[in-house]
Structure formats: C-alpha cells, structure tokens
Amino acid sequence: MAPKVIAPAADEAKAAREALPKLRRYLQDHPDRLTEVPVVDADSRQELVLPRAALELLEGVLAHMAAGRGVSIVPAHAELTTQQAADMLSVSRPHLIGLLDAGEIEYRMVGTHRRVRVDSLLDYKRRDDQRRRGAADELSAMTRELGLD
C-alpha cells in the first residue's frame, strides 16, 4: 500500500491552525475519556463518536498541516518498497539498502525485491533519533566541561 500524502493548501493550513487549539483544549479538558469522544456537527447537531486514539492522531495531522507540511498516513503493518522507505527516512535508496544489509532495519524478500514494514522502519527511526539525542547531549556536556559555552 502506497502512503497517502496530504499536502495542505493555504486555506486548509489556515483551517488546521484554527482547529488545532480547539482539539488540544478538548483533549486536555477530558483526559478521563480513554475510548470514545463525541463530535457534534454544528449545523445538524448530529453526534459522531470517534475513538480517542483517532482524535489524538488527528491532533498530530492538524499540527503538521497548520505548519504547511504534508502528512503521510500509512498503516503500521504496511510494506514499503525500498524507495518509499528511503523517502520516509529522507535518505538515498543506496543508503537505505546499506541499513537493510547491516541488519539495522528488518525487511523481507519478495522474489528479488526487498519489502520494509512501516513498523520496522519507525522502530529504526526511534532508535536513530535516540542515538542522535544522546550524541548531542554528550557534546553539550563536553562543551560545558571545557567552558566553551
């Protein structure tokens, strides 16, 4: 399944900027609602009940849209081509192949083609982000120790 990309137009980014604080306020004001959250249409007064997890996901989508950034929605179990996976990591395809061959990211072969599960890719991204934060923290500590800050 190819990722679904939502690239907001200017009016959609504006609508997202207006909706985001309202959604955040609702989620903060109702922390006890763990499963379903009612959403009411202002015109018809018709209620739609959504899972809280869907609204939390929507909060993240709105935040990116409000900033004018595109958003990709991909099921965690989806399998990506190596090009799609490289695009998600913002790296070249050859670099991604190196990560796969080094065992950094799980994949499977389909004939002669590699397929990467989104959840494996996201696990790698989390580990890589943690390594980067750790390295940055270490550099900051060294800078302070040397009195260079």
Residues 64 and 97 in one domain: no
Q: Higher model confidence: residue 131 or residue 7?
A: 131
Listed in sequence order, the residues at least 6 apart from 125 whose beta carbon sits closer than 8 Å to its beta carbon are 89
User: Please, which pLDDT band fits residue 80 given cuts at 50, 70 and 90?
Assistant: very high
- Structure confidence at residue 33 (pLDDT): 61
- Domain boundary, last residue among 73, 97, 121: 73
Residues 86 and 109 in one domain: yes
Residues 99 and 137 in one domain: yes
- Structural domain of residue 128, as residue ranges? 79-145
Q: Above 80 in pLDDT, residue 35? A: no
User: Please, which pLDDT band fits residue 16 given cuts at 50, 70 and 90?
Assistant: very high
Q: What is the mean pLDDT of residues 89-117?
A: 96
The sign of the torsion formed by the CA atoms of 25, 29, 34, 39 equals negative
Residues 93 and 57 in one domain: no
Rounded Cα distance between 72 and 61, Å, is 9
Q: Is 114 helix (H, G, I), strand (E, B) or coil?
A: strand
Helices (H) and strands (E) in the chain, counts: 5, 7
In the block, tokens 């099921």 appear at 75
Into how many domains does the chain fold?
2
In the block, tokens 């907001």 appear at 8
- Domain boundary, last residue among 73, 90, 121: 73
